[in-house]
Amino acid sequence: MPATPPKIRSVPPDRVSSWKWRSVSRRATSVSPPEECQQTGDECVTSISAGLTRRGCLARLYPNGYCAAPCDRCNTSLCNRHVYPADRLRCYQCSGSDCIDVASRPQYLLPCPVYQEDDRCYTNVVHLSNTLRGCEHTNLPTTCPHVCLKCNYNGCNAEKTVTELRCLQCTHNRLAPNPDCLRDQDPPAAVAEDQPKCSLSNSTVTHCVNKVMYGHRENCFSYRNTQTEVLQRGCSTAMGFYPTGELTECHGEFCNADCQDIVCAACNSTANPGCRAGRNLPTEKCAAGTTACYSCEQG
């Protein structure tokens, strides 16, 4: 059953009701039901000592009537229920996968439990499925790794800690040719003619996604080996080891979509008898937009 809110009794006009609330540790707070101040002319107070916040009736918390600064005193019922001090730093405070993107989670933006005038918000990226956010003087990990961001204004630790980078993914080789992996034969109209792009949407060319932690960098890649006639595109998080051939990496959405110029054997059997045999032939780089090599024999 849902918790029943505390009932506040009517009090004489010369008495006040006060919130009883105090910080109990650097990780949690304790809240009690409102209390009715017993002494006539008593006041509600909110005070801070060693970073811990206390709320209640002046006569109970400070029998001698002296509340050292920082201390706020007021004399109307429940007047000490507001955030104190008013400029107390507010940070996103959460952990786990829900903490990766807090843009739509305003419930995580809270005043720092432990008060320090020079407090800061922090974001600690633990791994791809866990992010910690909080207040430096409340629960900062003792060994904050290098991916630990700090800032000093309300809600500043709201950066998204895991982003996605999409890349073109396909493979072309001698046994399983995939012309679409080499180039797009009908590039989109938005692409300039002198900047041909490879196909981004068909059955043989797909997309892969790099999961990128804040502070890290992942790339798209294109690998080509002219000796084995292999061309491969993909995401750096799934990139293999390529001891030979040409490997190119780039950063940006689908940045590995540039078309690959092909090289063909170029000869004429009239001038080169070896042209018919097809061995040790001279080659030349084809013009941009070339989609295949050809052989033609006339009788």
Query: Which helix H or strand E contains 162, and what residues bound it?
Result: strand 162-172
Greater pLDDT, 170 or 205: 170
Average pLDDT, rounded, for the chain? 81
Distance, in Å, from the CA atom of 102 to the CA atom of 93, rounded to the nearest integer, reads 10
* Confidence category of residue 23, pLDDT binned at 50, 70, 90: very low
Contact present, 122 and 148 (Cβ < 8 Å): yes
Cβ distance 55 to 23 under 8 Å? no
Q: Is the pLDDT of residue 24 over 80?
A: no
User: Of 60-64, 112-116, 202-206, which range is least confident?
Assistant: 202-206
Question: CATH 2.10.60.10 region(s) of the chain?
Answer: 90-160
Average pLDDT over residues 131-146: 85
pLDDT, position 220: 96
Average pLDDT over residues 40-51: 90
Q: Residues near 160 by Cβ (< 8 Å), separated by ≥ 6?
A: 100, 101, 103, 214
pLDDT classification of 191: cutoffs 50, 70, 90: very low
Query: pLDDT tens across 268-298, in order?
Result: 878 887 887 777 788 887 776 566 677 887 7
Q: What is the mean pLDDT of residues 226-255?
A: 92
228's torsion region: left (phi>0), alpha (psi -120 to 50) or beta? Answer: alpha
Under a CB-based contact definition with an 8 Å cutoff, are residues 239 and 246 in contact? no
Q: In the structure, what pLDDT confidence band is assigned to residue 258 with cuts at 50, 70 and 90? A: confident
Least confident of 14-23, 101-110, 144-153, 222-231: 14-23
Radius of gyration over every alpha carbon of the chain, rounded to an integer in angstroms: 34
Q: State the Cα–Cα distance between residues 167 and 37, nearest whole angstrom.
A: 66
- What pLDDT is recorded for position 29? 55
**pLDDT score, position 45:** 92
Task: Indicate the CATH number for domain 90-160.
Answer: 2.10.60.10
Give the pLDDT of residue 16: 58
- pLDDT at residue 32 tops 70: yes
pLDDT at 17: 60
* 89 has a pLDDT exceeding 90: yes
The two structure tokens encoding residue 175: 């046994």
- Would you say residue 143 has pLDDT above 80? no
Q: Flag whether pLDDT at 28 surpasses 70.
A: no
pLDDT confidence bin for 198, thresholds 50/70/90:
low
89/33 Cα distance (integer angstroms): 25
